[in-house]
Amino acid sequence: MNLLHYAWLIPVFPLVLSPIPLLFGKRMAHGGGFVAIASLTLSTILSLALFFVKKPLPYYSTLHWVSSGVSYIDLGIYVDHLSELMSALTAFISLLILVYSLEYMGHEEGLPRYWTEMMVFSGSMMGLALAGTIITMYVFWELVGVCSYLLIGFWYTKPEAAAAAKKAFVVTRVGDVGFLVALVILYLNAHTLSLPSLLSNPSSLVISPVVRTTIALGIFVGAIGKSAQLPLHTWLPDAMEGPTTVSALIHSATMVAAGVYLVARLYPLFQVSPYALEVVALVGALSAFLASTMALVSYDLKRILAYSTMSQLGYMMAGLGVGAFGASMFHLLNHAIFKSMLFLSAGAVLHVLGGERDIRKMGGLFRKMKVTSLAFLFGALALSGIFPFNGFFSKDVIIGAAYRYGLTTGDYLVYALTLVTAILTAFYIFRAFFIAYVLPPKVERQFEVHEVPRVMTVPMVTLMALTLITGWLWTPFDDVFQPYVLYSDALPLTQEPTLVLSVSTLIASLAGIFVAYSVYPRTWIKPELVEKTSLGRGIRTLLEKGYYFDASYNAFARGVTSGWCALLDFFDRRVIDGVVNGIAAATLKLGQRVRKIETGRVRNYAAAVVLGVIVILVILVVG
Amino acid sequence: MIGFYQVVALSATLFSVGVYGVLTSRNAVRMLMSIELILNSANIDFVAYSAFTGVAQGLALAMIGIGVAAAEAAIGIAIVLVVDKLFKTIDLDKIKELRG
């Protein structure tokens, strides 16, 4: 029995079983939660088993979906190490989050709906990972989008949640248009959408380099939308209105990872497209930097984590852009682990404090919630890139690769941005840690703080262990990860950073933590210093407003779009309707005139007949 | 002496009287009678031409014309009766349902 023939079952388990909670959940324990957990367990087991099966890779299988004359649109499955890693990661993280949800979401109304949507969400993500043709990818890509819409708007009676869901849907849809256009251009040029042929030799399928760049950039626009990179990032902070478990899933292994995965999956296409990778690197580095600055001033625990996600995804994009393919995938894996852990910890805090998200109203949690706080600390250390947590290993390689990129191209901007971001990252996450967990509470508590039950701590502890383990997959001494994940010989091999680079990155991160330590618990540096200068206040406002991206989008919508709509409205009502109504009115007038001929008197008709005959006779005689 | 032209002139006179009657009469029965005049003027024409050229078909056509006129008269009278029943009048100027 070849297990590969059954790989397609990995996404199918949760997708097929997903209606069960919705249909029968009301009569089941936990609203049908065990169905969801069981289906994800099956997916996890199957995708983990794939790791250990000796097999020829890549495995590719299709079936015709739409046939039209000589051309076919195929649905397919494509298994190589990259898709295997992605599906296993998604299945495993989703499973942990679902277990955690048993308690976290336990008393929510509409729980069956939650399970069904989560199952479709993670199932679609695994389908996206294992898709064998780009059209299959696109289908699952859209399913992921629609599930994120449903889940962010889970509390749809709350106006903010409904608005956030709508925003996430619309903003990512802007990116999806780019993906769709790229897909059509690709099909028109290459006449195929199957991954193996596109990955093996993209430059012979699409001859023109300009067209290749157009396709690559279109795909990247789709990735920008999903992965919340500049300038389509605005949905991500607002998406925090959804349940924290949903945020954990969106921010680790599903939704946002989809964009990075898409670029990685089609990396050979980017490699043969001039300028495409430069754009990817620049957008990634800028997103990483700007997101980390926005996180500096936020007091919303979940928003800080959201900005950190955007920032870390920026690292991955920058890594892909500078040619650190393996390192980016490594960071994707590590980030999924520590970011879901951070969100689970934040969720536990929210659970205990009745949904409070403002870090100024938390404080002093470390004593009462040991496991939760330790999970956040581990996550913060991993996020900052401190040895020996997994974030250190991957971030280190990416920044090293950015430096090498600077050496070869003379463009050190990416390196500078990623290095500065490392400092800022360490600062903002430890700022949140100190204020929310370590410092004594500043306000009276309405709820009694206690550790969350075991069903919530076990997933956190599992992830804590993993943050200490997965980093060792790629060290200067032993590199298991990179040869595993490079699915083609044409992909660039990332070199280990030199010791000086590693140490400087580590020092940068430690400096960030030290500054946070000296500002918040120690108050050696007073945060009020910023408020005293007008420049400080200006920067602070700029960051709090998120560089006015939202404001300018709204202004754009109000000004340009409304104006354009008014013009179209005028054209429709006055010009098009005017022509139609004018023709009708003219016909009516003419009819009213002409009907006067019809007198209804027989004698008049007889006279007309006689007159007619006379006229004909005259014509005959004269003619 | 009654010759060919006199007969044709009679036919033309009858036709003109008939057309005048159709155009001027307000009474439906009178109009019907005027139509009879027009038909019979045609019959006279047929007979006249047949007699003076010696071709027999004209006579046959005249016989058919008389038959048609008889049928037309029967139907015409029936129509007038129905019109009277519906509108309580046979004054054609008062019946103008089809006025636009």
Identity at B84, one-letter amino acid code: D
On whether the CB atoms of residues A358 and A435 are closer than 8 A, the answer is no
Q: Residue B99 corresponds to which tokens in the numbers above?
A: 């006025």
- Report the residue from A601, A607, A610 with minimal CB separation from B92: A601
A63: phi then psi, degrees, rounded to nearest 5:
-140, 145
Looking at per-residue confidence, does B1 or A554 come out higher?
A: A554
Q: What is the pLDDT of residues A10-40, one digit of tens each?
A: 888 888 888 888 888 788 777 788 888 888 8
The DSSP string of A14-61 is HHHHTHHHHHHGGGSGGGGHHHHHHHHHHHHHHHHHHHHS---S-EEE
Looking at per-residue confidence, does A574 or A200 come out higher?
A: A574
Q: Residue A164 corresponds to which tokens in the numbers above?
A: 């956030």
Contact assignment for A600 to B100 by CB distance below 8 Å: yes
Residue A603's closest chain B neighbor by CA? B23
If you search the block for the tokens 């960071």, which residue do you land on? A331
Q: What is the pLDDT of residues A283-341, one digit of tens each?
A: 888 888 988 888 888 888 888 888 888 888 888 888 888 888 888 888 888 888 888 88
Confidence of residue A611 (pLDDT cuts 50, 70, 90): very high
Instruction: Provide residues of A within 8 Å CB-CB of chain B.
Output: 594-603, 606-607, 610
On whether the CB atoms of residues A390 and A471 are closer than 8 A, the answer is yes
Contact assignment for B99 to A607 by CB distance below 8 Å: no
Any CB–CB contact under 8 A between B94 and chain A? no
Q: What is the pLDDT of residues A516-529, one digit of tens each?
A: 888 877 777 777 77
Q: Residue B69 corresponds to which tokens in the numbers above?
A: 């006129």
Confidence (pLDDT) at A410: 79
CA of A595 vs chain B CAs: smallest distance (Å): 5
- CA-based nearest residue to A118, from A104, A130, A132: A104
Confidence (pLDDT) at A1: 55
Domains and CATH numbers, chain B: 4-99 (1.10.287.3510)
Residue A56 has pLDDT above 60, yes or no: yes
* Average pLDDT estimate for B84-92: 89
Residue A443 has pLDDT above 80, yes or no: no
On whether the CB atoms of residues A321 and A280 are closer than 8 A, the answer is yes
Residue A591's closest chain B neighbor by CA? B100
| CA gap B61, B50 in Å, rounded | 10
Q: What is the pLDDT of residues B35-77, one digit of tens each?
A: 999 999 999 999 999 988 888 888 999 999 999 999 999 999 9
Residue B25's closest chain A neighbor by CA? A603
| CA gap A204, A140 in Å, rounded | 28
Looking at per-residue confidence, does A534 or A377 come out higher?
A: A377
- Report the residue from B22, B31, B96 with minimal CB separation from A600: B96
Confidence of residue A188 (pLDDT cuts 50, 70, 90): confident
Any CB–CB contact under 8 A between B99 and chain A? yes
Q: Residue A184 corresponds to which tokens in the numbers above?
A: 């059509």
Counting one residue from chain A and one from chain B, the pairs whose CB atoms sit within 8 A come to 36
Residue A581 has pLDDT above 90, yes or no: yes
Q: What is the pLDDT of residues A380-394, one digit of tens each?
A: 888 888 878 888 888
Any CB–CB contact under 8 A between B90 and chain A? no
Runs of H (alpha helix) within B54-87 = 57-87
Contact assignment for B100 to A601 by CB distance below 8 Å: no
Residue A619: HSE in the Cβ half-sphere, 13 Å Cα cutoff: 6
| CA gap B38, B16 in Å, rounded | 8
